[in-house]
């Protein structure tokens, strides 16, 4: 596509929404407190796996301020279950808002107390007595696959709840004949998104109107509305879901939760607004978890470093309810990454365990793939004694090969991998770094250099799931201001600004006069959740389409009045004028007045008013595989090259990131300032994942890292020196050429830092295969390596 990108698109415009956030007037769900609101608190399972024998709520009911107490069985009698999961091997399971006969993970909600305030509700949950019949916890996914393992879902007959297989012809022969085969077991550990605003919901059933309003810190308001309608059997059209300001999501708020479905029911039952804001501990235990894949992976190469093929076996820990099996598929489809590898096979298994349900998290599935692949490439480089940058340059897909069909059928839109890698090496001073490393080692300083090249497929689409398109409705009001109704909510991405930039660019309506409404199902057109970076790839183009439709309409009106063809007209400075004769002009306000009032002056067959809806469909998506099982399920392929430099203190195990250099290509940038800020945050989240954050379960299935005390997010003091640069290769299949900017940053640190630490500790022959790289783990690795004979 060839479309002009005119200002203010591409400018570092100051964000509109920031004004209310700095002045403390943002509105989040927890800020709302309608008169008569009752508060709830949940009784949660104290064990990972058990049958519920009985629940005694008598004492809780008698507590001060308590209005009602319900158990799972009470609720199940009145709501329909949500059908979730559903995969290649298993029918969907029924999910009720509260556990019914059995609990399947530590912290699962099984009863609810409704009280006058949150303190009283919390007091009362302690008075609920639950009698359990304990069942064995299913913690290790590999053991869970063995015959005789306790079953998380008995009706499934197995804990293997998802299977995916793909293989190219002759893959085994490639490995038989290969000069070199690198074989590893690498695990991406379990983490969670952890936005600073936890989940929060407020349901208000209005008896007089027979309508339900649900305020939710959700990233997916339209889908949520449908689900509420389904489970409480209430007309969808009478439900309004509003996601007001939402304090971050990173994937975790895109899914629907048990508590979220319960509140509308309670409000209808009790005729009062019902509110719940989760605690941080609840968030760690109940918000979806991410990553947690084990890969048994091998790469076949020639001695000169030419990559020939990859064979992978993936064991993915899906937790208790496996709602998002596409995390596995996303990993399986992209294990060849940015390299020209046309021989590949994968067997991927999703395993049910008695842990919190697995779900979306910035880079879902693709982050596991890029981490494991990039580690494997690094290990291969070390073994073949080839420089890790050289090995990559030798195998990258060349710029002239795009659009490139990878081995699994994915269609990569565009890229300049060689350029990005070389530019990063130049920026980081790679050759000099290697020299310095030798010098420092003589002084006993363990410096390491880690290289990674990560790609983040964005804007996924799957049948009946999510993401096929986005839409924006645009109205120019009679006053001359414009309002855009966006189909997607936002949680910090700055849509109010970027959409206004796009509409201003197309229509000439000043940026300051454009208001963007989002997250409210009543005025906005239908759309999918904000995830998979699809706002850049489909939502912004839909605003562009709406802007173009509006522009065409305005020019049409002007054309008739000026007697000039629309293509010879231009909008600028509040006027529409002939390009060749600027004195032939009409004020934009005059066009607006015509559209609303003087409709006899409209061109023939033109509808009155100034209101249009723009849709944009995710390009290049395959909804069914071809005869070889190949398909493309993402439409854009941003990527980043990374060089990380670390010093490892071998006495304390502490890692200091000396510098982190990266060149990122997310295509055209609608607002480069917003891209930069998002990228910095994304990189820090990746650093947290690599070095600090881990959700750990003990053998009884208890989550032992469930607060900020033991699940440590990076803080300001841990920000390393960052060198960020962009190269721009626009996505040729979307009008704006943007590819999605929020996720790639997070993918870089895990492989780059692990490789850097392995490099730093190479004198000990340390192998990094488990993460995060906490000081304890680093010391352990050194100790272990010293106990075994050293490698070169």
Partner 1 sequence: MAKSITLTVNGKSYSGEADSRTLLVHFLRDALSLTGTHVGCVVGRCGACTVMWNGTAVKSCMVFAVQADGDEVVTVEGLVKDKRLHPLQQSFWKNDAVECGYCTPGMLMSAYGLLQKNRNPSDEQIKKAISGNLCRCTGYGNIVAAIKEAAGNFTK
Residue nearer to ligand FES on the CB measure, 490 or 665: 490
Task: Provide, rounded to whole angstroms, the least separation between the CB of residue 708 and ligand FES.
Answer: 8
User: Does residue 198 interact with partner 1 by CB under 8 A?
Assistant: yes
Residues 100-119 that bind partner 1 (CB under 8 A): 119
Residue nearer to partner 1 on the CB measure, 515 or 680: 680
Task: Provide, rounded to whole angstroms, the least separation between the CB of residue 223 and ligand FES.
Answer: 23
By CB under 8 A, name the one of 2, 133, 717, 776 that touches partner 1: 717
Residues 219-248 that bind partner 1 (CB under 8 A): 245-248
By CB under 8 A, name the one of 5, 11, 26, 429 that touches partner 1: 26
By the 8 A CB rule, do 266 and 274 touch?
A: yes
Q: What DSSP assignment string belongs to 8-25?
A: TTTS-PPPSTHHHHHTT-
Count of residues binding ligand FES (CB under 6 A)? 4
User: Does residue 195 interact with partner 1 by CB under 8 A?
Assistant: yes
CB-count burial class (<10 Å; 0-12, 13-18, 19+) for 438:
exposed
Residue nearer to partner 1 on the CB measure, 15 or 392: 15
User: Does residue 492 interact with ligand FES by CB under 6 A?
Assistant: yes
By CB under 8 A, name the one of 94, 163, 280, 422 that touches partner 1: 280
User: Does residue 745 interact with ligand FES by CB under 6 A?
Assistant: no
Residue nearer to ligand FES on the CB measure, 20 or 656: 20
User: Does residue 28 interact with partner 1 by CB under 8 A?
Assistant: yes
Helices first, then strands: H and E counts in the chain = 22, 32
Say whether 410 sits in a helix, a strand or coil. Answer: coil
Residues 298-357 that bind ligand FES (CB under 6 A): none
Q: Which does 68 bind (CB under 5 to 8 A by kind): ligand FES, partner 1, none?
A: none
Q: Residue 436: count other Cβ atoms within 10 Å of its Cβ.
A: 16
Task: Provide, rounded to whole angstroms, the least separation between the CB of residue 195 and ligand FES.
Answer: 7
Please, which residues bridge with residue 458 across strands?
636
Residue nearer to ligand FES on the CB measure, 35 or 196: 196
Q: Residue 258: count other Cβ atoms within 10 Å of its Cβ.
A: 21
User: Does residue 279 interact with partner 1 by CB under 8 A?
Assistant: yes
The pair of structure tokens assigned to 211 is 């309508």
User: Does residue 714 interact with ligand FES by CB under 6 A?
Assistant: no
Stretch that binds partner 1, among 14-22, 99-107, 375-383, 416-424 (CB under 8 A): 14-22
By CB under 8 A, name the one of 35, 438, 716, 787 that touches partner 1: 716
Task: Provide, rounded to whole angstroms, the least separation between the CB of residue 199 and ligand FES.
Answer: 15
User: Does residue 30 interact with partner 1 by CB under 8 A?
Assistant: yes
Q: Pairing state of beta strands 274-277 and 38-44?
A: parallel
Say whether 133 sits in a helix, a strand or coil. Answer: strand
Give just the sign of the alpha carbon dihedral 418, 424, 425, 426. positive
Give the contact letters, 230-249, x = binds to ligand FES (CB under 6 A), - = no. -----------------xx-
Residues 6 or more apart whose CB falls under 8 angstroms from that of 311 comprise 171, 175, 297, 298, 300, 344, 345, 346
In the block, which residue shows the tokens 């006993």?
444
Residue nearer to ligand FES on the CB measure, 109 or 248: 248
Q: Which does 289 bind (CB under 5 to 8 A by kind): partner 1, ligand FES, none?
A: none
By the 8 A CB rule, do 493 and 15 touch?
A: no
User: Does residue 196 interact with ligand FES by CB under 6 A?
Assistant: yes
Residues 595-654 that bind partner 1 (CB under 8 A): none
In the block, which residue shows the tokens 């550990």?
189
User: Does residue 787 interact with ligand FES by CB under 6 A?
Assistant: no
Measure the CA–CA gap between 701 and 325, rounded to whole angstroms: 22
User: Does residue 508 interact with partner 1 by CB under 8 A?
Assistant: no
Measure the CA–CA gap between 423 and 417, rounded to whole angstroms: 10
Residue nearer to partner 1 on the CB measure, 221 or 508: 221
Q: Which does 35 bind (CB under 5 to 8 A by kind): ligand FES, partner 1, none?
A: none
Give just the sign of the alpha carbon dihedral 84, 85, 86, 89. negative
Measure the CA–CA gap between 616 and 515, rounded to whole angstroms: 20
Peptide bond into 8 cis (omega under 30): yes
Q: Pairing state of beta strands 290-301 and 180-191?
A: antiparallel
CB-count burial class (<10 Å; 0-12, 13-18, 19+) for 583:
exposed
Q: Pairing state of beta strands 514-517 and 482-486?
A: parallel
Q: Which does 674 bind (CB under 5 to 8 A by kind): ligand FES, partner 1, none?
A: partner 1
Residue nearer to ligand FES on the CB measure, 284 or 610: 284
Residue nearer to partner 1 on the CB measure, 568 or 677: 677
Residues 6 or more apart whose CB falls under 8 angstroms from that of 24 comprise none
By CB under 8 A, name the one of 17, 140, 436, 590 that touches partner 1: 17
Residues 337-396 that bind partner 1 (CB under 8 A): none
Residue nearer to partner 1 on the CB measure, 312 or 496: 496
Q: What DSSP assignment string belongs to 431-477?
A: HHHHHHHHHHHHTT-EEEEEEEEEE--EEE-BTTTB-SEEEEEEEE-
User: Does residue 493 interact with partner 1 by CB under 8 A?
Assistant: yes
Task: Provide, rounded to whole angstroms, the least separation between the CB of residue 470 and partner 1.
Answer: 20
Give whole-number Cα distances, 691 to 204, 288, 698, in Å. 43, 21, 20
User: Does residue 77 interact with ligand FES by CB under 6 A?
Assistant: no
Give just the sign of the alpha carbon dihedral 391, 394, 397, 398. positive
Q: What DSSP assignment string belongs to 666-734?
A: -BS-S-HHHHHHHHHHHHHHHHHHHHT----B-TTS-BS--STTTSPPP-GGG---EEEEE-----TTS
User: Does residue 730 interact with ligand FES by CB under 6 A?
Assistant: no
Q: Which residue is nearest to ligand FES (CB)?
A: 196
The pair of structure tokens assigned to 792 is 């070169």
Residue nearer to partner 1 on the CB measure, 23 or 479: 23
Task: Provide, rounded to whole angstroms, the least separation between the CB of residue 491 and ligand FES.
Answer: 8
User: Does residue 197 interact with partner 1 by CB under 8 A?
Assistant: yes
Residues 651-710 that bind partner 1 (CB under 8 A): 673-674, 676-685, 707-709
Task: Provide, rounded to whole angstroms, the least separation between the CB of residue 666 and partner 1.
Answer: 16
By CB under 8 A, name the one of 2, 4, 23, 146 that touches partner 1: 23
Task: Provide, rounded to whole angstroms, the least separation between the CB of residue 247 and ligand FES.
Answer: 6
Which DSSP letter does residue 579 get?
Answer: S
Longest dimension (CA), the chain: 90
Measure the CA–CA gap between 230 and 245, rounded to whole angstroms: 26
Stretch that binds partner 1, among 194-202, 315-323, 606-614, 771-779 (CB under 8 A): 194-202
Measure the CA–CA gap between 61 and 41, rounded to whole angstroms: 13
Contact residues toward partner 1 (CB under 8 A) are 14-15, 17-28, 30-31, 33, 119, 193-198, 245-248, 250, 277, 279-280, 491-494, 673-674, 676-685, 707-709, 713, 715-717, 719, 722
Chain residues in the site for ligand FES (CB under 6 A): 196, 247-248, 492
């Amino acid at each position: 596509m060839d479309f002009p990108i005119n200002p203010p698109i591409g400018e570092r415009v100051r964000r509109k929404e920031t004004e209310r956030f700095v002045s403390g007037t943002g509105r989040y769900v927890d800020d709302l407190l309608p008169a008569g609101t009752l508060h709830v608190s949940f009784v949660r399972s104290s064990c990972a796996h058990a049958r519920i024998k009985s629940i005694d709520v008598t004492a809780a009911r008698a507590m001060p301020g308590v209005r009602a107490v319900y158990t799972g069985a009470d609720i199940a009698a009145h709501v329909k279950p949500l059908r979730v999961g559903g995969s290649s091997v298993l029918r969907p399971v029924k999910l009720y808002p509260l556990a019914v006969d059995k609990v399947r993970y530590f912290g699962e909600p099984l009863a609810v107390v409704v009280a006058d305030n949150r303190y009283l509700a919390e007091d009362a949950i302690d008075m609920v007595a639950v009698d359990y019949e304990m069942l064995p916890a299913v913690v290790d996914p590999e053991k869970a696959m063995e015959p005789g393992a306790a079953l998380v879902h008995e009706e499934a007959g197995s804990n293997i709840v998802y299977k995916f297989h793909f293989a190219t012809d002759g893959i085994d022969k490639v490995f038989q004949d290969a000069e070199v085969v690198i074989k590893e077991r690498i695990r991406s550990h379990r983490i969670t998104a952890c936005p600073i605003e936890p989940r929060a919901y407020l349901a208000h059933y209005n008896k007089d109107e027979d309508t339900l309003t649900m305020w939710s810190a959700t990233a997916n308001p339209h889908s949520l509305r449908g689900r509420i309608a389904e489970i409480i059997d209430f007309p969808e059209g009478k439900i309004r879901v509003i996601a007001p300001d939402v304090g971050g999501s990173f994937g975790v708020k895109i899914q629907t939760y048990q508590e979220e479905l319960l509140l509308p029911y309670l409000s209808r039952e009790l005729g009062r607004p019902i509110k719940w804001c989760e605690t941080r501990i609840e968030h760690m235990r109940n918000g979806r978890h991410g990553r947690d894949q084990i890969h048994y992976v091998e790469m076949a190469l020639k001695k000169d470093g030419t990559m020939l093929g990859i064979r992978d076996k993936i064991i993915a820990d899906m937790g208790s309810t496996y709602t998002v099996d596409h995390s596995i598929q996303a990993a399986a489809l992209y294990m060849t990454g940015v390299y020209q590898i046309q021989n590949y096979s994968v067997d991927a298994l999703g395993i049910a365990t008695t842990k919190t349900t697995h779900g979306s998290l910035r880079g879902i599935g693709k982050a596991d793939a890029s981490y494991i692949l990039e580690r494997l490439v690094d290990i291969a480089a070390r073994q073949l004694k080839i420089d890790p940058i050289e090995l990559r340059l030798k195998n990258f897909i060349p710029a002239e090969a795009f659009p490139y069909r990878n081995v699994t059928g994915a269609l990569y839109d565009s890229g300049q991998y060689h350029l990005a890698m070389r530019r990063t090496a130049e920026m980081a001073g790679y050759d000099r770094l290697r020299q310095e490393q030798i010098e420092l080692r003589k002084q006993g300083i363990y410096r390491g250099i880690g290289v990674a090249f990560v790609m983040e497929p964005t804007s996924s689409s799957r049948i009946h799931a999510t993401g096929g398109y986005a839409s924006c409705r645009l109205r120019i009001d009679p006053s001359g201001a414009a309002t855009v109704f966006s189909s997607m909510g936002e949680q910090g991405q700055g849509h109010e600004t970027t959409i206004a930039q796009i509409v201003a660019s197309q229509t000439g309506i000043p940026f300051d006069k454009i208001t963007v409404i989002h997250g409210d199902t009543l005025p906005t057109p239908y759309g999918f959740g904000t995830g998979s970076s699809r706002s850049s790839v489909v939502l912004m183009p839909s605003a562009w389409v709406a802007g173009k439709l509006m522009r065409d309409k305005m020019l049409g009106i002007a054309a008739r009045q000026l007697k000039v063809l629309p293509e010879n007209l231009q909008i600028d400075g509040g006027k529409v004028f002939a390009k060749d004769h600027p004195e032939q002009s009409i004020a934009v306000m005059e066009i607006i007045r015509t559209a609303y009032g003087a409709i006899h002056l409209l061109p023939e067959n033109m509808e009155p008013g100034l209101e249009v809806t723009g849709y944009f469909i995710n390009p290049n998506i395959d909804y069914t595989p071809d005869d070889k099982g190949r398909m493309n399920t993402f439409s854009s392929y941003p990527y980043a090259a990374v060089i990380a430099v670390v010093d490892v203190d071998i006495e304390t195990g502490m890692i200091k990131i000396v510098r982190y250099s990266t060149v990122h290509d997310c295509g055209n940038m609608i607002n480069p300032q917003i891209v930069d800020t998002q990228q910095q945050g994304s990189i820090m989240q990746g650093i947290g994942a690599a070095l600090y954050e881990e959700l750990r379960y003990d053998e009884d299935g208890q989550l032992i890292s469930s607060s900020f005390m033991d699940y440590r997010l990076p803080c300001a003091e841990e920000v390393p020196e960052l060198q960020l640069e962009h190269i721009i290769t626009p996505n040729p299949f979307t009008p704006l050429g943007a590819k999605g900017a929020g996720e790639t940053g997070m993918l870089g640190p895990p492989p780059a830092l692990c490789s850097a630490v392995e490099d730093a500790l190479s004198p000990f022959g340390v192998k990094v295969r488990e993460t995060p790289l906490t000081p304890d783990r680093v010391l352990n690795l050194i100790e272990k390596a010293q106990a075994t004979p050293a490698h070169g």
